Amino acid sequence: MKSGHLMRQVINRIVGSVDFNKAQDRHLFGDLYEQILRDLRNFTKGTPTQEVWFYEHPYPPGVKSYNKTRPMRSEEFAAEKAWWNNRVDNEQAWKVSAADIKARNYNLHLRNPHSPDAVVHDPQTLLADYAALQVKIGATRAKLRGVLNAALHGGQ
């Protein structure tokens, strides 16, 4: 598999589900892409991949996310460099078998098993909840509009 081929497949799947005309979707794409780049670590060429290491790169103090004006700097990778040649499970690193990744339909958005308080929500559930909230908001808006019309026009 050529370098970048897997990443291109992942990006194509994301592009198919993101509306780039919506600001919140563009932001979501950036977050997903950044997460994938930080998590995707070790695919060996020439042999079938048996396991994939993930390393959760901690943000430096005071940094909430990386962006164009605050990109990653090479000195921030000292921990990863020290860990790389002697890989062991720790608070930031864990490995997942290729079979598990395949069973997840190649979804690489895996939470760190060493941080149990991290909550990952299913996108379909979030979208369903969002749609239900939009319906409630619409009903409340219509009710408010009726109350305001009654107050402004004296019930006419």
pTM for this one?
0.47
Residue 111 in tokens = 């939470």
Beta bridge partners of 147: none
User: Does residue 26 register a pLDDT over 60?
Assistant: no
Which of 60, 106, 66, 64 has the alpha carbon at shortest distance from 79? 60
User: Does residue 134 register a pLDDT over 90?
Assistant: yes
Mean pLDDT across 5-24? 64
Chain-wide mean pLDDT for the chain?
80
